[in-house]
Structure 1
């Protein structure tokens, strides 16, 4: 029989938790109280709280005496967790937990709180196009003079009133020639014989009647349910249960980037839907046998890859907490606590001194009266709630990077060269260079695994180096974005980015995510740690709460996922370019002509965002057996096949222009020196309208593939950077300033 583990003494337990107590602002004077409750397993939440399930599961304070308030410092309460997984396994574990998902079904989404407005407020709020007079108990609408006040109404909702006179409704509609959507449900008039036919005869432009599409439906009706005015921006569209009996190609024509469509609960043939919406990758429908097999996902399943998309909802991510090496989710009591920036409790994870098991605890931080809702700041470790500034700071003027002089090179031959990377040493064959074994003997030092820090010594000793002072403005993910936007503002060749260490940036991110979500646009994000490469600590998600949860445990930036990528072979790809910055001023920039395409192993779709092999392209380190071996020659040939309306040369030139602009921004901060030159790896993607988007600028990129495929690669790099002037090497292309 295994002996029970010894209870950890209070002093040691407190020492282990002291930093956490400080981070979560748990009063140290309450530590003994918490310790005692954990030791005695005093799980007494049921004596104080109950869950109101009438609309949205909500925790209420319901003491037995119905009179005693809770006050700060009076008590602490312990809840268990119902799910735990390591970060890399959390989605696969969640998918496998069918019973748990069923158990927590009521906690998956937040209920929508109705906005209660007076009739006067509703009329004042009307923008002249949309008027929603709902649940106002109106028996007559004539006194409102709707047609006189709003003659160009397009949307009118009268749901939930007591209107009974068909003539009054029809008389109003006759005065609204632009009306396209009408709701009269939950009114006696809706039951009048022939009312729908009379309305349709009277309103030839009407596309939506009582939430159903009329025979006149078209692009406008689709945009209405997308909550967007620009069809090209719509990535997700839900038109479930709209009474659709036929698909109209003309209505979908301008939805060029629509990727996910939910058309369930409609009696419609979807067998030709891929011809009508070529961009579609995911379809939700009633008859999956009818759906084209060329779709990647049908009803959330990729049957070719045996994958089912089961996301973790925002509401669940709101309550997941990092506990040691695990993500843990609280039980129903914890899940009933709603997020608020005006909380009356605070919460945190702790470990039991009995067995090390993790729990969630919460405690009052304000007076809580009986039947009050329990609210907490669910993200206490990040600064939520900042105001979004109305304007961004003005652009910084750029200094000229031109010069009447050429960049300088060393005339000494051979150049004594120290290289700390074996593969470069093995591939440097140019007689212009002579390898030495120690850096002290070198005229040129090439460090791959070390940063130079004594720049004064480098400048004074006139040693050639492969780094440039200040280059972190390009190679650090957060600095790259800040540098480029400082000088050029929001540019199409950088992803929309938010630095999640700044309160204003967090507020901007939350606001932007909500805007995208409400307007049917893709709200998928790539989350990155500041100083990582090779796709380490990168996460793809459509959950803003998951983004914020990761930002709680370390510095992160988030970039909008490229939701409309150009694909090759149906797969997402990025391109690795090697660029050589020979001089800061004059800015002298070259790109190696050979580039390296990297393809995701699985076909792309705007679904299943935890699938690394669908949404990421770098497989060398995480899944080396899944690397897709395509050369730049293969890529260019296939590009021509799949994109007959544009040449690769045109797109390549756009890539060079984007790289030029990025380095123009970076060179504003780099320290110009004739002794500093550098090689960088630029990763970029291309949108389906052929806009290059730079993902990263990598310091000392991995060049094993380049060395193996291009025998002269190392010689080319060293000669272009350090000996040739002018550069005549036909393996590189010069990227001019103009």
Structure 2
């Protein structure tokens, strides 16, 4: 606001009346807003505080004031960072303290970013971990390990080979190598295909996945034909083990067995299959006969493009206990929430919303359960890389224009408090 040109509240409202109306600022707060803009008063900290949540991956704004009537206050949010897109990385790398400040605001992990690891320490940790798993299995009276998690151990290709995991764990069902430094496709593939009973493999957050891994995936699938989960996605071979994993039956404490038992899914009531890259849902394991008690099913984030809508509807109608369903709308079950409810009259909840409310309101699209997608990074990425990857969750932009340059380059910015608060409304 140009303070040298706008000196009174009347002038302020006259010049910015359209913007005030569009932003929804109540008329009763125009005077308070004018005063805070004129005096550059940023007093949000007197009423709110920022608290980390979701294990430090997000932040939320908490009201610390005892009471705040509706439409009683307006707060200013200053820019924590303003830049042109072409200058973003240069600013992060050259402006002292900027990348650390932005990393803190965005909940980006600073401690593990861009640091070289000690190879000897990594080897010691991995070897010790493997020996501990073998020892724990023997202590339990079981001479076979079926679930192994070697995560975030800074393990490279040479260390993976030296561990000789297929010989030590020939009956392994689930193997997680997430967050290591594996990068040679041939080396990793040759080692993985030695596991003949493997049901699940996680290579997430390894440099190897930054390459084109189609050939690697095909080779692994051919060598491990029992594999049902690959990098958190279902393979075309998924069956009772993958469904049992998503249904809470199989985990590290109960990894299952090499051969399927009779009706292991009978007790499953809640099944979360969201974001599993499922193309074809129709198979022997996913059936009302195998899961007669299923009451809550989440299919969000799966294309299911190999299944005609009619076949999917018929399959799901067979689950007589199903009363809560989550699915993309529009999506594989149809274009409208109303049409889906017509096909499933026994549903109580659709995408977390009461079915009767959907029918009353006539809403066609219901997406109340959508969650934000959080960025992921590897240990090799610098702090600047992590900030650039995470910043899109927080940024907004505008264009500078004058009479000669109507379409100037966009200016991007990030708020200090991420939002503009009126009264007791929340972010």
- Larger relative strand fraction: 1
Q: Report the TM-score when normalising by structure 1.
A: 0.27
**Rg bigger for which structure?**
1
Higher relative contact order (CA 8 A, sep 6+): 2
Q: Report the TM-score when normalising by structure 2.
A: 0.45
